[in-house]
Chain A
């Protein structure tokens, strides 16, 4: 089987995550990109592609970052109007571009003053479906994910303990992650004692908005083998928007089944094009703007059976010593909300063996996802085979 991609993530970069960066989004973006390029062992003159994403113009265009970094002429430059659906998607597109020879090294980034500036959590998403939601105060993205989470718990017989198990398991990883902004220990009792924000979610079920930036570099596999770290090979990547994905990011009224998101739709292609199966996956970085998306994503990718995700997490399977360590940085719930760019970066670090105190012992095949509801993307990152 000939893989359709011959590319790898070769470098990873972050700024610190904080409540107030004290600097511009452009500066944050440039810092993270420069760090990723340096981490790869590349010179900036070798980076000929750049891609990013933003929600309601909360970030800066890629051309600005290319400019302030003094990058050479860019052969791929892409800005997409997407939220957390984007990171795996952009890495996949970058991987396809380097495979086709359209670019050699592409930096993919997300940057935001997401806590001190535009706060996505309370942002009004303009869109054609908005007129049916905002006047009735159904106006925050948390509510949409909660609506799906509620139905998922109902159909799978789950409850608060399942959501709580996700939050608790991930907080344990965050205790080992100096970059995480939410590191205070959490147990199930404390979780259940926190009041609801939007039922079924309590505060620990929700990601935490931060200022910061994160970037990865995607290079051809041949080039990757000469660079600083072991390649985190992009064995496969896929994006999916289900049919009738709605008029905008918040319009889910035409979607049939709130218990199955885009992960159910792309799993076959994701595994098939890599020549891998769910049983091969050793760790998972599952997009988690809210805890329920981890449960839906584990089932959607076939990492556990239908209706089994809650029990799976409660059993300890997603812990560092479990069968499938998941969200090893603490996830977006605890590390901070960089719209899943940091989910991809953590996956690359793990596959490269650079997870430090939270390194997963078997780290040759990692599943990564981006997105919560009707559309999103995923990668399988592997060790070089």
Chain B
């Protein structure tokens, strides 16, 4: 989906470049510790759980459950006026995934515990990871 909004592009760095590049290809890549195996986000040079250096990149599906959310009703800056209301979710990714953060696509409401799926929004020069409520699968 191509977006018209004017979100400021992220300032990528050596840690985050693989993450942002993968998003351009509509893939989600996070780091895994080569020593303890835990997945982590945001990207960083060492493992925050065991302290081991090294960064392996692994692709994750990006499905998960809403751990918490906020719903922004009032524009706190002029640039946001066209975007409220919108929700931001902290998602616990499935399968020992890390927590990730993103806007809820389409400005819809969500609740804690809702299952979500990733979606990718292409902006000018970068791609944003958003989350959308998972549709119930037919039995």
Contacts and interface: CB of A to CB of B under 8 A. Distances in A.
B90 to A, nearest CB: 6
B47 to A, nearest CB: 10
Q: Closest 10 CB pairs between A and B?
A: A199-B71, A151-B68, A131-B10, A196-B73, A146-B70, A138-B88, A135-B10, A197-B74, A244-B48, A253-B99
Contacts of A197: 73-74
B48 A131 contact: no
A147 B128 contact: no
Given A136-B128, A151-B68, A198-B73, A253 B42 contact: yes
A100 interface: no
B134 interface: no
B55 interface: no
A244 B49 contact: yes
Contacts of B72: 137, 143, 198-199
A223 to B, nearest CB: 44
A275 to B, nearest CB: 35
Interface in A143-178: 143, 146-148, 150-151, 154
A244 B38 CA distance: 13
B41 interface: yes
Interface string A124-149: 00001111111111111011001110
B86 interface: yes
A171 B88 CA distance: 30
Given A154-B68, A253-B41, A131 B90 contact: no
A68 to B, nearest CB: 35
B32 interface: no
Main secondary structure of the interface of A (DSSP, over half): mixed
A258 B66 CA distance: 13
A361 interface: no
A312 to B, nearest CB: 23
A131 B42 CA distance: 10
B8 A135 contact: yes
Nearest to A146: B70
Interface string B53-73: 000000000000001111111
From B8, B102, B128, name the one whose CB has the most chain A CB atoms within 10 angstroms: B8
B68 A254 contact: no
Interface in B12-70: 12-13, 15-16, 40-42, 44, 48-49, 67-70
Contacts of B15: 128
Contacts of B49: 244
Contacts of A139: 76-77
B74 to A, nearest CB: 5
A253 B103 contact: no
A139 to B, nearest CB: 8
A314 to B, nearest CB: 22
B68 A253 contact: no
Nearest to A154: B112
Chain A CB within 10 A, most for which of B7, B40, B70, B100 = B70
Given A128-B44, A148-B68, A200-B70, 10 more contacts: A131-B10, A132-B10, A134-B10, A136-B7, A137-B80, A139-B76, A198-B71, A243-B48, A253-B99, A254-B98
B76 A253 contact: no
A23 interface: no
A195 interface: yes
Given A131-B12, A147-B70, A121 B126 contact: no
B83 to A, nearest CB: 6
Given A129-B42, A195-B73, A244-B49, A138 B101 contact: yes
A140 B13 CA distance: 22
Nearest to A253: B99
Contact of B103 (A136, A154, A243, A244): A136
B95 interface: no
Identify which of A137, A148, A195, A258 gathers the most chain B CB atoms within 10 Å of its CB.
Answer: A137
B101 A253 contact: yes
B70 A143 contact: yes
Contacts of B10: 131-132, 134-135
Nearest to B77: A122
Nearest to B15: A128
B11 interface: yes
A251 interface: yes
